[in-house]
Amino acid sequence: MPNTLRTTGTAHLLEAARAVGARRFLTQSMVPGHGFVDHGTRPLTEADPFGRPRGSKADPVVEAMRATEQQVFTADGIEGIALRYGAFYDLTGSEGFVTALRAGKLPVPRDGGAGPNWDGRPHCPATERG
């Protein structure tokens, strides 16, 4: 479902944004769009390849992240912004997540993902200043 939201959902939201005259559109992306591989010790930058298939089970996720960014960055008359989230819990804190991801077994929150209640405040500077 998240892949469909990133591809088809982004297309529909951009259509709605055009209909209301939006000049800026913000999409959510993530650093795993660089690929679920060891990138070494060098920090990744915007100049590094993004959304490239690598022949793994993660390719559909990576492609969906590439698709949402591509749609937003090439939207006529709309300034596109992608907030590319990273790993918030350092490498050791993310080991369980990475192991589950590689095994094709991502955990599902007991509340079905209903919480926490995000209010959008971290996104405000990006929408206001680009």
Q: 41 lies in which domain range?
A: 2-129
Q: Is the pLDDT of residue 15 over 90?
A: yes
Mean pLDDT to the nearest integer, 74-98: 76
Q: What distances in angstroms separate CA 58 from CA 3, 6, 18, 35, one per listed residue?
A: 11, 15, 32, 8
Q: What is the pLDDT of residue 117?
A: 44
Give residue-wise pLDDT tens across range 40-60: 888 888 888 888 888 888 888
Please give the DSSP secondary-structure letter assigned to residue 120. S
**Which runs of E-coded beta strand occur in the chain?**
24-30, 79-85
Task: List beta partners, residue 46.
Answer: none
* Nearest residue to 8 via CA among 71, 80, 98, 62: 71
Angle at 41 between CA 61 and CA 95, to 5 degrees: 50
Q: How many domains does the chain have?
A: 1
pLDDT tops 80 at residue 98:
no
Find which of 31-35, 49-53, 71-75 is predicted with most confidence, using mean pLDDT.
71-75
Residue 12 has a pLDDT of 95
Alpha carbons within 13 angstroms on the beta-carbon side of residue 117 total 0
